[in-house]
């Protein structure tokens, strides 16, 4: 009866209404089915039910749990010899892409395509091509995006699926616009409209979004205005559940920004931001923030422009790091693989050399024994001496030739060994140069950000906004100095903290123009620290010195600012910043302070697991004791969660 019970639970789960309210009931049915199949040792049945559970968790947005369940499904299918693995590969590819693991998503997507072709089950091959194409878009390989989306379009045309063909055609057109081919994209849109005319309002809206994108890119704003007007009217006629509403709003917002209608643009772009956050469309969210920044900047809304630009940079850097961290990891794997191959080759050469040495010694021993026997033979057989001597000479010549041949082979092996060692050294040098180049580029990018902040501050009239931008500029400069130290240093990954602190303090004193009114005393021990420790220390020093220069010495008061870094023991240090200024406000409480500077200092001190103390006696004193033998504690910053793009933008 157990097999029937398992099948019954499975069919109950499959036939229950697929709605948010029924999710707990469906999970219960499938879980009961899994238990029954486990008792039956039916791995295929377990996998079928677990895949449905993973699909439910995917619909709830729990992508990590869904991926773990799908990995278990794959293991069960493989253990049972189940051959139709392409659907599981496809789902794993989609989960990894949604979680930002684009290279893993690409590998599973390609595996789904290969397995579908092997099993000749190509009913969903077009969807597999689409998934791979969208993953390539996240990796910014636009030529690959075009290739796989066109393969999927051929599949849709072959099975007369006009709705999916229209969707793919618009995706291809948008990718062509991003590739800088707007005229060809517009020609393709006209061809799609003739071949797949819209059947419903939703079809018309989706095609109109493609035309709008092309008209904006080709600067045909009159036609773009007509498409935009039609879109605004038709999209509101569609139900609230219309799947492509985000893309429509983004297209309308892009048109209004391009035509300088910024208030109208902001209305649609703010809705796009809200919908993208809820759906997790990271790329659309990035584009929306950039357009809002352009609109706010054009209208002189500096505060809103800065906020939207910061949101855009956060999303852009997140996507950039997800792409490039995988690329750097791939380069490291290639380097490690090359080094292992060279090590194996070197060991092989050494083994051959040892074998040849043993053979040579054996050969020499045999020569000696042969000579001894020859001598005995000559003494015993004197009458045949001449003939034996002649034969012996011939044998010795052959042996000598063999020795020369083996010596030549040995010299060749030794030469190859030296060449492999030289190649290994070249790879190590190349790796160091690559890391220095990365630090150099990061430093240049931070300098660009600092310049942008400086430029923005010159257009502001609010002193508080100017001061906030100036403080942000100082923080960016502190990080830029760190990366400058890294690419100039002989040892990558470590920084001379004394030199780093000296440059920070000198930069801040010059930035606030306090060279005459504030005397700086630096008592810095020559300490080299890892970048994971030097970075938060530099930011703490920036906040403390900035606070002293701003508040400790109000004009015309003069004073002394002292920065000391001392060693308390093995891997234990203390950073002290003191001034003889006006001191801290009466009743100051470190634990209750909510100023941005103190929040940054306390947060970075916790990251270092250090002991922070602030006191006032003839001025103010900030002390931080930390231990570099402890790994810095990683803290999660508040902000947007991991999101994913489901459409090209």
Of 486, 531, 528, 544, nearest in space to 632 by CA:
531
pLDDT in tens, 507-540: 898 888 888 889 999 999 998 888 889 889 999 9
502 close to 524: Cβ distance less than 8 angstroms: yes
- Residue 593 inside a domain? The answer is yes
Return the top range by mean pLDDT from 450-459, 477-486, 612-621.
612-621
Q: Kindly state whether residues 498 and 591 are assigned to the same domain.
A: yes
CA–CA separation, 623 vs 616, rounded Å? 11
Q: Kindly state whether residues 393 and 506 are assigned to the same domain.
A: no
Q: Kindly state whether residues 414 and 498 are assigned to the same domain.
A: no
- CATH number where 511 lies: 3.30.565.10
- Residue 353 inside a domain? The answer is yes
Q: Number of structural domains, the chain?
A: 3
Spell out the residues 6+ positions from residue 210 whose beta carbon is closer than 8 angstroms to its own: 169, 170, 173, 174, 189, 192
- CATH number where 32 lies: 1.25.40
- Residue 56 inside a domain? The answer is yes
Q: Kindly state whether residues 515 and 612 are assigned to the same domain.
A: yes
Q: Which of 418, 449, 464 is the last residue of a domain?
A: 418
Mean pLDDT of 561-583: 92
pLDDT in tens, 419-447: 888 877 777 556 656 665 665 667 677 76
CA–CA separation, 179 vs 613, rounded Å? 55
pLDDT value of position 536: 92
- Residue 406 inside a domain? The answer is yes
232 close to 255: Cβ distance less than 8 angstroms: no
**For residue 212, what pLDDT band results from cuts at 50, 70 and 90?**
confident
**For residue 453, what pLDDT band results from cuts at 50, 70 and 90?**
confident
CA–CA separation, 241 vs 239, rounded Å? 5
> Tokens at residue 444, please?
């240049």
Segment 288-293 long-range contacts (CB within 8 Å, at least 24 positions apart): 288/250, 288/253, 289/315, 291/250, 291/253, 291/254, 291/257, 291/265, 292/265, 292/266
pLDDT value of position 577: 95
Q: Kindly state whether residues 616 and 521 are assigned to the same domain.
A: yes
pLDDT at 335 over 50: no
**pTM for the predicted model, two decimal places:** 0.47
Mean pLDDT of 61-68: 87
Stretch (H or E) spanning 621: strand 620-627
Q: Is 190 exposed, middle or buried (0-12, 13-18, 19+ CB in 10 A)?
A: exposed
Total count of residues recorded for the chain: 649
pLDDT value of position 447: 67
Computed on alpha carbons and rounded to an integer, the radius of gyration of the chain in Å comes to: 36
- Residue 244 inside a domain? The answer is no
Determine the 3-state secondary structure of 276 from DSSP: helix
Pairing outcome for strands 611-616 and 572-579: unpaired
- Residue 605 inside a domain? The answer is yes
Range of the domain at 388: 323-418
Mean pLDDT of 152-177: 86
- Residue 77 inside a domain? The answer is yes
- Residue 609 inside a domain? The answer is yes
Q: Which of 366, 398, 418 is the last residue of a domain?
A: 418
Q: Who wins on pLDDT, 404 or 424?
A: 404
Q: State in Å, rounded, how far the first CA of the chain is from the last one.
A: 54
Q: Which of 397, 418, 439 is the last residue of a domain?
A: 418
> Tokens at residue 566, please?
């001392």
pLDDT at 644 over 60: no
Of 611, 553, 606, nearest in space to 580 by CA:
553
């Amino acid at each position: 009866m157990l097999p029937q019970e398992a099948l019954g639970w499975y069919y109950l789960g499959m036939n229950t209404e697929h709605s948010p309210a029924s999710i707990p009931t469906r999970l219960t049915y499938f879980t009961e089915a899994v238990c029954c199949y486990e008792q039956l040792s039916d791995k295929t049945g377990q996998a079928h039910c677990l895949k449905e559970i993973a699909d439910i968790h995917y619909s709830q947005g729990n992508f990590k749990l869904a991926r773990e369940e799908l990995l278990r499904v794959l293991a069960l299918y493989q253990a049972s010899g189940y051959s139709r693995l392409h659907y599981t590969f496809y789902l794993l590819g989609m989960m990894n892409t949604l979680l930002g693991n684009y290279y893993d998503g690409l590998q599973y997507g390609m595996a789904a395509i290969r397995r579908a072709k092997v099993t000749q089950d190509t009913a969903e091959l077009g969807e597999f091509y689409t998934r791979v194409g969208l993953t390539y878009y996240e990796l910014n390989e636009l030529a690959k995006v075009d290739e796989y989306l066109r393969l999927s379009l051929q599949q849709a045309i072959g099975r007369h699926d006009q709705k999916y063909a229209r969707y793919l055609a618009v995706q291809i057109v948008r990718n062509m616009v991003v590739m800088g081919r707007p005229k060809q994209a517009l020609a393709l849109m006209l061809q799609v409209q003739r071949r797949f005319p819209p059947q419903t309002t939703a079809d018309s809206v989706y095609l109109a979004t493609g035309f709008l994108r092309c008209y904006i890119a080709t600067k045909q704003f009159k036609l773009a205005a007509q498409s935009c007007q039609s879109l605004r009217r038709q999209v509101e006629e569609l139900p609230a559940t219309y799947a492509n509403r985000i893309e429509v709003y983004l297209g309308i917002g892009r048109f209004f920004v391009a035509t300088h209608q910024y208030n109208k643009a902001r209305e649609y772009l703010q809705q796009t931001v809200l919908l993208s956050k809820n759906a997790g469309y990271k790329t659309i969210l990035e584009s929306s923030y950039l357009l809002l920044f352009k609109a706010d900047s054009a209208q002189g809304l500096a505060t809103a422009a800065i906020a939207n630009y910061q949101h855009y940079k956060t999303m852009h850097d997140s996507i950039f790091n997800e792409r490039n961290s995988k690329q750097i990891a791939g380069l490291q794997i290639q380097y490690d693989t090359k080094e292992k191959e060279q090590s194996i080759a070197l060991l092989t050469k050494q083994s051959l050399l040892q074998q040849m040495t043993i053979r040579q010694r054996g050969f020499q021993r045999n020569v000696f024994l042969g000579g001894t026997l020859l001598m005995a033979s000559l003494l015993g057989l004197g009458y045949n001496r001449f003939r034996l001597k002649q034969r012996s000479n011939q044998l010795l010549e052959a042996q000598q030739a063999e020795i020369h041949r083996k010596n030549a082979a040995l010299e060749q092996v030794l030469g190859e060994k030296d060449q492999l060692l030289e190649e290994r050294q070249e790879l190590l040098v190349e790796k160091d140069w690559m890391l220095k180049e990365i630090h150099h580029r990061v430093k240049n990018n931070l300098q660009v950000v600092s310049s942008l902040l400086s430029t923005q501050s010159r257009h502001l009239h609010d002193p508080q906004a100017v001061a906030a931008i100036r403080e942000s500029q100082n923080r960016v400069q502190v990080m830029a100095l760190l990366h400058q130290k890294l690419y100039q240093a002989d040892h990558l990954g470590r920084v001379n903290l004394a030199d780093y602190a000296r440059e920070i303090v000198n930069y801040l004193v010059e930035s606030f123009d306090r060279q005459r009114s504030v005397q700086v005393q630096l008592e810095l021990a020559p300490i080299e620290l890892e970048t994971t420790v030097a970075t938060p220390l530099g930011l703490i020093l920036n906040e403390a010195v900035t606070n002293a220069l701003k508040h400790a010495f109000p004009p015309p008061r003069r004073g002394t600012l002292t920065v000391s870094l001392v060693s308390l023991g093995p891997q234990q240090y203390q950073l002290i910043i003191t001034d003889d200024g006006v001191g801290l406000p009466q009743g100051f409480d470190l634990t209750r302070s909510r100023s941005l500077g103190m929040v940054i200092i306390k947060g970075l001190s916790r990251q270092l697991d250090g002991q922070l103390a602030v006191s006032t006696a003839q001025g103010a004193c900030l002390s931080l004791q930390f231990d570099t033998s402890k790994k810095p504690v990683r803290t999660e910053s508040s902000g947007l969660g991991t999101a994913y793009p489901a459409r090209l933008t």
